[in-house]
A = this chain, B = another copy of it.
C-alpha cells in the first residue's frame, strides 16, 4: 500500500501484474500466438496502459525473459553454498533446477519454445545470462574432473544434456501422463523424482559395474 513519490495511487504496481500475465500467456501459446489484449485483460489493465508501462509486444517479451532468467544464477549459487563434493553439487544443481518451475512455472515452456525456434529472436542479453548459468554448472563439472570424481566429458554438451533433460522432463509431465495411459504403464512422479532420476542416471550411468554383474 506504500505510495511512491507522487502520482495517483499506481494501482498496486501494474507493471508487475502485466509481466506476470505476459509470462502466463507467452508460456501457454508462445510469442506469436499471444494476444496483447489477452495479456492486458489478465493483468486487469487497459491495453494502452500496457504500452505505457512496458512498451510493445517484443519489448514485453524480452523483459519477461530477462527478468525471469536473472533469478536463476543467484538461486543456483546460493543452493551450492553448503554442498561440498562434486557429486553432491551436481545433484544439488538438478534438485534446484527442479524447484525452479515451482516458483516460476512459466519459464520452462518459454525456454523450450525459444530452443525450438533456434533462438532466432533471443537477444544477446539472454545469451550472456545463459552463459552465466553454464559457467556455474561447468565449474562443478571441472571440479569433479580435477578431483578425480568425474570422468572428463565435454562440459558444454554435458551441461546442455542436464538442462535439456530437466526442462524436457518437467515440461513433458502432462503428455507423459497421457502417454503412460496409452502404453499401459503407471505414472506418478514428483519434481523431486525427476531430479533424482536424472542425477542417478547421469552420475552412475545405466550399466551395471562389471564386478557386480550377474549374467543369467
Residues of A near any B CB (own CB < 8 A): 27-33, 87, 90, 108-110, 112-119, 122, 124, 127-128, 130-131, 134-135, 138, 141, 144, 146-151, 153-158, 160-161, 163-165, 167-169, 171-172, 174-176, 178-183, 185, 187, 189, 193-194, 197-198, 200-209, 213-216
Contacts and interface: CB of A to CB of B under 8 A. Distances in A.
Given A32-B33, A115-B175, A207-B150, A164 B168 contact: yes
A183 B207 contact: no
Contacts of A149: 207-208, 213
Contacts of A174: 118-119
- Chain multiplicity (copies): 2
Given A112-B115, A168-B168, A207 B203 contact: yes
Given A127-B178, A153-B200, A156-B185, A117 B30 contact: yes
A153 B201 contact: yes
